[in-house]
């Protein structure tokens, strides 16, 4: 998978799935839209490309959400893909 | 009236109260802090404390209730993220509906559905323990 970086705003994508999590080896664009983030994760997890997460042919992140943390002086930009947690309407 | 939730352990004891900003009489918003609690207490074999059993939330009215579409997709997403099944009680002021995932093939009333799909259905059997703080949960929802 090629790095997908726009405007030099690169971020590390952390994916949580089936009780494990891991970082996508390739950087992604910090301002990539949620659909693209989920697509990157889906392809990577299905192919076993995320260290720490077993290859899962039917991985699906439809009901997951994206948390973004901008870079600071101490930390690089981070994006986290995790399950949604709302209830009700 | 406000929807309220709590995270409980395998003995029905409260691990965490969930009363986030933005909750209403009909919904609880998505919450990163709630996810962090669930992740911390996921199964020990997955690296957590192993204490997590489920999440109870209120539908703050009298009478029986059922899971909304949002509830069902959250149940599924959380279990997919944790890699473990949980129990999902929905609590009104007078009733409790216990939801858990079952394969359609295991439930005769679901005959005709895709037998390979999983569905969330109300338990026919109540657990042997009770939610320790169920009345407090109801009180916090009034």
Distance from CA of A85 to the nearest CA of B (A): 5
**What tokens does A64 get?**
């997951």
- Dihedral Cα A47, A50, A52, A58, nearest 10 deg: -40
| Average pLDDT value over all residues in chain B | 88
> DSSP state, A83?
E
Is residue A23, in this structure, part of any structural domain at all? yes
pLDDT in tens, B75-96: 999 999 999 999 999 999 999 9
Is residue A5, in this structure, part of any structural domain at all? no
pLDDT grade, residue B121 (50/70/90)?
confident
| B28–A83 CB contact, under 8 Å | no
pLDDT at B127: 65
Full pLDDT tens readout for chain A, 89 residues:
444 544 458 999 999 999 999 999 999 999 999 999 999 999 999 999 999 999 999 999 999 999 999 998 988 899 999 999 999 97
| Region of poorest pLDDT, from A7-11, A43-47, B36-40, B68-72 | A7-11
What CA–CA distance (Å, rounded) separates A63 from A76? Answer: 26
pLDDT at B118: 61
| Region of poorest pLDDT, from A30-34, B21-25, B95-99, B119-123 | B119-123
- DSSP, collapsed to helix, strand or coil, labels residue B58 as strand
pLDDT grade, residue B102 (50/70/90)?
confident
**What tokens does B135 get?**
């009345």
Is residue A89, in this structure, part of any structural domain at all? no
Is residue A1, in this structure, part of any structural domain at all? no
What CA–CA distance (Å, rounded) separates B47 from A1? Answer: 29
* The pLDDT of residue B100 is above 60: yes
| B32–A82 CB contact, under 8 Å | yes
Smallest Cβ–Cβ distance between A85 and the set B34, B43, B46 belongs to B34
- For chain B, which residues make up each domain, given as ranges? 5-140
Its domain, for residue A20, covers 10-83
Q: How many domains, chain A? A: 1
- The H-or-E segment that residue A26 falls in is none
| B29–A20 CB contact, under 8 Å | no
pTM (predicted TM-score): 0.89
Asked if B91 contacts B64 with a C-beta cutoff of 8 angstroms, the reply is no
């Amino acid at each position: 998978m090629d790095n997908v970086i726009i405007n030099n705003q690169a971020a590390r994508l952390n994916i949580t799935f089936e009780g494990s999590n891991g970082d996508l080896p390739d950087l992604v664009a910090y301002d990539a839209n949620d659909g693209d983030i989920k697509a990157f994760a889906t392809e990577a997890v299905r192919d076993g490309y995320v260290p720490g997460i077993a290859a899962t042919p039917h991985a699906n992140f439809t009901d997951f959400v994206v948390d973004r943390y901008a870079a600071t002086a101490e930390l690089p930009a981070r994006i986290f893909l995790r399950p949604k947690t709302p209830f009700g309407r | 009236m406000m929807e309220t939730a709590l995270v409980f352990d395998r003995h029905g004891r409260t691990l965490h109260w969930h009363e986030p900003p933005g909750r209403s009489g009909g919904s609880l918003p998505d919450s990163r802090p709630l996810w962090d609690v669930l992740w911390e207490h996921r199964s020990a074999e997955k690296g957590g404390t192993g204490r997590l059993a489920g999440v109870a939330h209120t539908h703050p009215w009298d009478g029986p209730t059922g899971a909304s579409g949002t509830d069902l997709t959250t149940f599924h997403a959380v279990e997919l993220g944790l890699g473990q099944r949980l129990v999902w009680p929905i609590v009104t002021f007078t009733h409790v509906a216990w939801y858990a995932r079952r394969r359609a093939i295991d439930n005769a009333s679901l005959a005709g559905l895709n037998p390979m799909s999983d569905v969330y259905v109300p338990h026919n059997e109540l657990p042997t323990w009770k939610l320790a703080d169920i009345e407090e949960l109801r009180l916090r929802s009034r």
